[in-house]
């Protein structure tokens, strides 16, 4: 990771009381994570082009009543570079390795976007160690939105033509956040730092793996958050809800109004309350 991004992330984390940065030495290299709080464990798994900062609006609140651990997955943030090809099974194995390294017998897990695939696979593979599964705007459930696909492609092309900063700003405005009053220099800088640190192309995985089929093997209590304004879901919502009922009939669905893709930042208070109640 570039030193400027490393400094930025540490400065950002300094706002959360008691937040600690640490790393786990795995065979492939160091895995970075942050943690705060004490008690029952909640693991947070970020999305594509992300890092632990995807949970910047949630860690401090959730850590008031539990031990919260937010990872940088391999190929993201300050963690090691995975050797291609790196599969979802390997990413799920990282969750098991974290539990082993930290001596955690049981934890709840929440994933955002691409992280939903990782969290779902980990819950499926570790039924005795993962107590609850929460998914935030998961890909691979129901039909793919052609509008979201074309918009994502257009924003990638904009980033190449006009620079990453403009691409990050427009992604926040058109995809990530419904509440555009939240878009300021700080949040743009946060997204820009994540983009510059990303070394794993998660989009290919997100578009090729059916999360709903993974959920068939999950038996733990499951909560699926959907942002009503998320372009990935709003044009195929009926199909997504049908897929959840078909493949994960045990799952609860929580629709959050006035929330786009980065739901846990867009509507942080509503998200924090609902997640805490679910795993509490």
- 3-state SS, 64-110, equals CCCEEEEECCCCCCCCCCCCCCCCHHHHHHHHHHHHHHCCCCCEEEE
Q: Which H helix or E strand runs over 194? A: helix 185-197
- 62-119 pLDDT, tens digit each: 999 999 999 999 999 999 999 888 999 999 999 999 999 999 999 999 999 999 999 9
- Name the residue ranges covered by the structural domains of the chain: 3-279
pLDDT at 5: 56
- 195-209 pLDDT, tens digit each: 999 999 888 787 789
Class of 3-279 per CATH?
Answer: alpha beta
- 150-208 pLDDT, tens digit each: 998 999 999 999 999 999 999 999 999 999 999 999 999 999 999 999 999 888 787 78
Q: What is the pTM of this model?
A: 0.95
CB-CB neighbours of 25 under 10 Å: 10
pLDDT at 19: 97
What's CA 219's distance to the chain center, in Å?
21
Distance CA 98, CA 11 (A): 25
How does the average pLDDT of the chain come out, rounded?
93
Instruction: Write phi, then psi, for 4 (nearest 5 degrees).
Output: -65, -40
Q: For residue 231, is pLDDT > 90?
A: yes
The candidate with the shortest Cα–Cα distance to 53, out of 68, 39, 72, is 72
């Amino acid at each position: 990771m570039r030193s400027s991004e490393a400094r930025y992330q540490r400065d950002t984390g300094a706002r959360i009381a008691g937040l600690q940065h640490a790393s786990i030495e795995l065979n492939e290299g160091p895995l970075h994570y942050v943690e705060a709080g004490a008690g029952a464990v909640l693991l947070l798994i970020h999305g594509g082009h992300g890092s632990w900062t995807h949970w910047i609006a949630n860690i401090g609140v959730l850590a008031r009543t539990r031990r919260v651990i937010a990872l940088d997955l391999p190929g993201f943030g300050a963690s090691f570079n995975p050797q291609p090809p790196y599969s979802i099974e390997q990413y799920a194995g990282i969750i098991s390795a974290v539990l082993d390294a930290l001596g955690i017998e049981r934890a709840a897990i929440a994933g955002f976007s691409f992280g939903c695939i990782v969290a779902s696979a980990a819950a499926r593979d570790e039924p005795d160690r993962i107590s609850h599964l929460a998914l935030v705007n998961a890909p691979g459930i129901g039909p793919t939105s052609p509008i979201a696909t074309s918009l994502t492609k257009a924003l990638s092309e904009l980033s190449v033509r006009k620079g990453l900063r403009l691409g990050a700003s427009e992604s926040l405005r058109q995809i990530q956040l419904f509440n555009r009053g939240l878009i300021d220099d700080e949040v743009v800088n946060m997204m820009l730092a994540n983009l510059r640190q990303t070394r794993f192309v998660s989009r290919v995985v997100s578009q090729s793996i059916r999360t709903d089929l993974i959920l068939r093997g999950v038996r733990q209590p499951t909560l699926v958050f959907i942002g009503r304004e998320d372009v990935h879901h709003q044009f195929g919502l009926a199909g997504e809800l049908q897929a959840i009922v078909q493949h994960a009939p045990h799952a609860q669905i929580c629709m959050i109004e006035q929330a786009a893709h980065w739901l846990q930042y867009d509507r942080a208070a509503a998200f924090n309350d609902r997640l805490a109640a679910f795993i509490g």
